[in-house]
Amino acid sequence: MRILSLCLVCLMSAISVAAMAQEAPPPPPLDPPKKAPAMSRFFVGGWVGASFSDQVQNVQVAPEVGYRVTPKIQLGGGVVYRYRKDKRFDSDISTTDLGGSLFGRYFVYTPIYLQLGVEQLNWEFVRSVPGGFETVDASHTAVLAGPGFALPMGPRAASYLTILYDLNYDSSGPNPYERAWMIRLGVGIGL
């Protein structure tokens, strides 16, 4: 009899717990995911370049700031500074170039992107004149287009390898770049 009473008490307890569970209000809805603050969409970075030989030394620095409009679109701009020292003349000639750039990247399929940009460069080149050489100031507006590859380097950083073609390259005159094609390796770090 005792066992039967104990079984009835357990059964009644289980039924009342099940009834209470059915009457309990549903849990509150989860908070919707928070949108990332606008500041976290900005990134800083840029690229550097250098070439050294017995005759010519060339150093380039180009810091950039960008903004991720969407996960597939990045827009940005930067400053370009170049310094050259040329020892092929009787006296060494040093030149400096300064400019700015704007670019856009569209990620076709992560990590592959297409980049289009404009770079305005005020540059100096060497020209021969009677009795020697002189530096001449010039400007060049490059329209740069090409594919690239982004390699993540952690949760908020990436390295970029971009192959660009200057659509305004003129092989018949002086140019700030030796070729229409250029390869740039850079870095971007999210804020």
- Other beta carbons within 10 angstroms of residue 19's beta carbon come to 9
pLDDT at position 21 is 47
Please state, in angstroms and as integers, the Cα–Cα distance from residue 172 to each residue in 39, 133, 156, 169, following that order.
Answer: 45, 20, 44, 9
Q: Measured between alpha carbons, how far is 24 from 2 in angstroms, rounded to an integer?
A: 33
pLDDT at position 101 is 97
Q: Measured between alpha carbons, how far is 86 from 88 in angstroms, rounded to an integer?
A: 6
Percentage of the chain modeled with pLDDT above 70: 81
pLDDT at position 91 is 75
0.95 exceeded by the pTM?
A: no
Please provide the average confidence, as pLDDT, over all residues in the chain: 84
Higher-confidence position of 93 and 65: 65
Looking at 2.60.40.10, 2.40.160.20, 1.10.357.10, 1.10.8.60, the CATH number of the domain 39-190 comes to 2.40.160.20
Q: Measured between alpha carbons, how far is 69 from 54 in angstroms, rounded to an integer?
A: 45
The torsion region of residue 172 among left (phi > 0), alpha (psi -120 to 50) and beta comes to alpha
Q: Measured between alpha carbons, how far is 140 from 80 in angstroms, rounded to an integer?
A: 13
pLDDT at 109 over 70: yes
pLDDT at 79 over 70: yes
pLDDT at position 107 is 97
pLDDT at 61 over 90: yes
